[in-house]
Copies of this chain bind each other. A is one copy, B any other.
Amino acid sequence: MAVYTLVSDENLEAFLAEYDVGEVVSAKGIAEGVENTNYLIHTERSHFILTLYEKRVAEKDLPYFLGLMEHLAGRGIRCPVPVHGRDGKALRRLAGRPAALVTFLDGVCLSRPQAHHCRALGETLARLHIAGADFAPRRENVLGVAGWRPLFERSAARADELAGGLVHLITGELDYLEASWPDDLATGVVHADLFPDNVFFIHDAVSGLIDFYFACTDAYAYDLAVCLNAWCFERGGELNATKARALVEGYEMARPLDRADREALPMLCRGAALRFLLTRLYDWFHTDDRALVRRKDPLEYLARLRFHRGAGSPASYGL
C-alpha cells in the first residue's frame, strides 16, 4: 500500500458508533489497493470494508464515487455499497481523512485469468455500462486524451532513462492520438481501471467489482479497451486473441457494440495503453523509494502500445 493511516481502537469505535452495524468483533488493516488505507471490519452482524481516502483521491470526487456505487448496487451490479450512518451520511472523517464504510464482497482476484473469465468479465462490464446509463452526475476523465500530454510532461525529462527513444515515441503518439481521437462514440459511466485486481470471482463467475476511484464519463468502448489491455495479453507481451474475442463476445451478450465502437477499438486500445504507460512512468520516477509501494513496470505497456500501433483493424485482435 502507498500510505497507511493507523486508526486507534477508540477512534474506530467512535466512528462505527455512528452506524447501525452492531458491535465490532475484529478490525484488520488489509494490504489491498495502493491508493487508500483499508480495514476489514467484522461486526456481530456482517463484514465491511472501512476505507480512509489518502491524498491521491480528490475529496471533491468522493460523493460521485460513493453515489455511483450505490446507484450501481441498486441495479444489481455487485460492488461495495456505501453504508449510511444514523445521520444519513455515507461519508465522514476518521483520523484526519475522509472515510467511508462499505459492504464487504466475497470472491478472489485471479492471477491468471483464462478466456472464460474474460468472457464473464466482458458481460459484467456491459451490465455495468447499462446500469450506469441513468446515473445523472458526470465526472470528466482526468486521465483521458486531454490529460495525457500534461501528465507526460512531468516525466519527459527522465523517460529516456527507462528506454531509449521513449520520449520520441510518446510524443509521436500524443500528436497522433490528439488529432485522431474519436468524439462520436456512445458515452456514459465507465470504470476505467478494471484490472484483474479489481474483479472478484467465485467458481469462475464474477462475484464483485471494486475500486471505482477512476470511474468517470467516457466512451463505453474505451472501458472495453482498458480491459483488453489488462486481461488479454500474455506475460511475454503477446496478444491472446482467444481472450480478446471472449471479452468482446461476452460484452456483446449484454450490450452489442455499434459499428463505430468496434472500428474505434484499435485506436482506443492504443490510447488506453498510452494512459497506463504514462501513469506508470510518472509513478516510476515520482514514487519515494521508502513508500510502501510496489511500482509497476511501465514497459509492459510500451509493449502493448507497440502492438496496437501495428494493428490495422479489429481483425488484428481476432475480432
Contacts and interface: CB of A to CB of B under 8 A. Distances in A.
A14 interface: no
Most buried by B among A28, A202, A289: A28
Contact of A42 (B29, B32, B106): B106
Given A28-B32, A31-B28, A9 B292 contact: no
A27 B31 CA distance: 11
A107 B26 contact: yes
Interface stretch (A109-117, A125-133, A172-180, A240-248): A109-117
Report how many copies the assembly holds. Answer: 2
A94 interface: no
A21 interface: no
Contacts of A40: 28, 30, 40
Interface string A61-90: 000000000000000000000000000000
B30 A106 contact: no
Given A31-B4, A31-B31, A40-B28, A9 B109 contact: yes
Interface residues of A, number: 32
Nearest to A201: B9
A108 B26 contact: yes
A241 to B, nearest CB: 23
A161 interface: no
A290 interface: yes
Given A40-B40, A289-B290, A108 B9 contact: yes
B31 A29 contact: yes
A234 to B, nearest CB: 16
Interface in A8-63: 8-10, 12, 24-32, 40, 42, 47
A1 interface: yes
A256 to B, nearest CB: 32
A106 to B, nearest CB: 4
A107 B28 CA distance: 10
B108 A31 contact: no
B108 A24 contact: yes
B29 A30 contact: yes
Interface in A146-160: none
B9 A111 contact: yes
Contacts of A289: 289-290
A12 B125 CA distance: 27
**Which 3 residue pairs of A and B lie closest in terms of their CB atoms, listed nearest first?**
A29-B31, A8-B111, A25-B106
Given A9-B110, A9-B111, A28-B31, 7 more contacts: A12-B108, A27-B108, A29-B31, A29-B32, A30-B40, A31-B31, A292-B292
